[in-house]
Amino acid sequence: MADDKVYRVLVINPGSTSTKVGLFDGSEPVFTENVQHDAAKLKTYRTISDQMPYRRDQILEVLGRHDVVLKTVDAFVGRGGGLLPVEGGVYEVGPVLLDHALRGANGVAHPAQLGSQLAHEFALFSRPGGAPCFVVNPPDTDELCDDARMTGIRGVYRNVHLHALNLKETAIRHAASQGRRYEDSDYIVCHIGGGISISAHQHGRMVDGYDIVGGEGPMTPTRCGAVPVIEAFKYLEEHGINSTRRLCQREGGFVDLLGTSDAREVSERAAAGDEAAARAWSAMEYQIVKYVASMAGVLHGHVDAILLGGGMVHNQELVDYIREGCEWIAPVYAYPGEFELEAMAAGAVRVLTGQEEAKEYTGVPVFSGFACFE
C-alpha cells in the first residue's frame, strides 16, 4: 500500500565530460547540478569504469557544498548503462547488474555505465548494509513487439537503443496532465536533441522504436541516421569500419555535413541564408516527420497524442514544422528539455511508496531469437 512519507532521493546521470546530480524530496528538487570533469583527465583512463573513483570524489565535493548528509537519503538512483536488454521498469542494483555495468555487457561503451556504480557506492557509504539503490528505464529498455524485431536476414534481429528514460517519463507526465494513465494510452513519443528517438507506446509499453546507435531513424546533430545499405557498403569499402561506425554513433549528421553538433548554430546559419545549413536542417525536419508518421502505422492510427521532448524542442520553428506535418495524426504537444533526473527520482519514489515493485536484473536479455528461424 502507498504511504504519504516524502522520500529523499539522490540521482546520478553521468555524461561524456560531466555528471548530472540531483537531490529530490519526493518530486521536488532540493538542488540539481552539472558536475564538470576534466576532459583531458578522463582520457587518461583505460576504460569508462576506471573513471568511477575520480567522478565519485568530485561528486562528493559538490554534495559537501550543498551540505548533503548521505544517511538522510532514502534511496540512490543511477543511470543504467551497459546492461543487456530488459523490459521497462525500476531495477534494484545487485551483483549481476553491477558486473554488467562495470564491463559494459551490451557492447556499447558509454558513461551511463557509471550511473549504477556511483549510486551503489554512495548507497554503501550512507549506512551499514547500504540504502536502497536502483536504475530506472535503462538505455537498453526493450519492449518491442515481435514483428518489430524481424529483419529479412536469418538470425539477424532489430535491437532498440533509445532515450527510454525521457521518452517514458514524458508519456507518464502527459498522461497525468490529461487525467489518464500511461498504461491506458497510445502515444508517439520523440526525444529530439543531440540524438533523436522516435517511438510508439501502446498501453504502457514501448512497442517499437529506432536503433539510433545502430544507424536507424532520422539524421541527428551527431548521427547519420538511416542510410541505404548498399551506400553504407560503398562508404565502408573506402573509409573502413571504424570511420563508418563513428558516423552512426557520434560523427555523422551535422558533425559530418557542417562541422558542428550545435543544433542552435545550424538553425541560425540556415535562417541567415547558409545553403548547406538550410539543406541539412530541412532534411532533418523532413525525416523526423517521416519517422513519426511511420509509428502511426505501427499503432494502426490509434494515437492519443504525439509528444515532443528534448533540447531542440525549444526551437519553435521545428515544433511548428512537426505540428504541420503530423497533427493530422493526433494533437502534438511540446515538452522542451528533458526529465531524466526527475524520472529517476520518480521511479524510486514509486517503489518506496509501494506504487510499483522493483524488478531483479537477471542478466538474461528479454529476447534471444525466434526458435523457428534458429
Structure confidence at residue 108 (pLDDT): 82
**Three-state SS for 296?**
helix
If DSSP codes are grouped into helix, strand and coil, which group holds residue 140? coil
As a whole number of angstroms, the distance between CA 225 and CA 215 comes to 5
Concatenated DSSP letters of 51-118: GHHHHHHHHHHHHHHTT--GGG--EEEE--TTPPPB-SSEEE--HHHHHHHHHTTTS---TTHHHHHH
The end-to-end CA distance of the chain, in Å, is 45
Q: How far apart are CA 298 and CA 240, in angstroms?
A: 35
Average pLDDT over residues 85-101: 96
Confidence of residue 3 (pLDDT cuts 50, 70, 90): low
- Average pLDDT of the chain is 95
CA distance linking residue 362 with residue 94, whole number of Å: 9
Q: Is the pTM of this model over 0.95?
A: no
Domain architecture of the chain: domains with CATH: 8-142+341-373 (3.30.420.40), 164-337 (3.30.420.40)
Residue 244: all three cell numbers together: 563508418
Residue type at position 333: Y
Q: What average pLDDT score do residues 333-355 get?
A: 95
Q: What does the pLDDT read at residue 315?
A: 97
pLDDT at residue 291, as a whole number: 97
How sure is the predictor about 186, in pLDDT bands with cuts at 50, 70 and 90? very high
Using alpha carbons, list the distances in angstroms from residue 24 to 11, 302, 357: 8, 36, 20
In this structure, is the dihedral angle defined by the CA atoms of residues 176, 177, 178 and 182, taken in order, positive or negative?
negative
pLDDT, tens digit, 9 for 90 and up, residues 6-49: 999 999 999 888 999 999 999 999 999 999 999 899 999 999 99
Q: What value, to the nearest 5°, has the Cα angle with vertex 115 and ends 109 and 117?
A: 95
- 253-280 average pLDDT score: 97
Sequence-distant (≥ 6) Cβ neighbours of residue 357 within 8 angstroms: 351
The percent of residues in the chain predicted with pLDDT above 90, rounded, is: 90
Return the percentage of the chain with pLDDT > 70, whole number.
99
Running DSSP on this structure, what letter comes out for residue 46? S
Mean pLDDT of 181-192: 97
